Amino acid sequence: MDKHEDAFRTIGEAAVELEVPQHVLRFWETRFSQIRPMKRGGGRRYYRPVDMALLRSIRSLLYGEGYTIKGVQKLLKEQGARALIGAGAATLLEEPASAADGGAEIGFEPAAPSAATTAGLRAAVAEIDAARRILAAARL
């Protein structure tokens, strides 16, 4: 039985879904401060949908596009995690107000994309479609 896309994932479930070992996810948490799974009793990690989206983006950049960890860190610093996930896809959680809250869950509100973002995304999709047509014609 598959979980709903909005369900939280344990580290084991996240590792299976992302096709990476659990220790890689723990390592990424040490290298990317934007990855902040909820932690419950005994230190069990629960990845929220926004965490999973960020992890998918990081995995894609590292394994699919050949970025180094430093390269992804630089992208995150310059563009922010929200840009890596996709404009309008989700608003990442803010840093916890204090360490005294023990890592309590912090809510988030999805942000609506701006008109400029929507226009930019439409232009990017049109460009990708044009590139696909060119590639398809070249294969013939």
Can you give the pLDDT at residue 98? 38
Tokens of residue 126, six digits: 């049109």
- pLDDT tens for each residue of 78-121: 888 887 787 434 433 434 333 344 444 444 445 566 777 788 88
pTM: 0.59
- Residue 111: Cβ within 10 Å count: 13
Nearest to 27 by CA among 45, 13, 49: 45
Averaged pLDDT of the chain: 79
Delineate the domains of the chain, giving CATH numbers in brackets: 9-109 (1.10.1660.10)
- Using only C-alpha atoms, what is the Rg of the chain? 17
Helix or strand (DSSP H, E) at 47: strand 45-47
Read off φ and ψ for residue 97, nearest 5 degrees: -60, -40
CA–CA gap between residue 126 and residue 32 (Å, rounded):
32
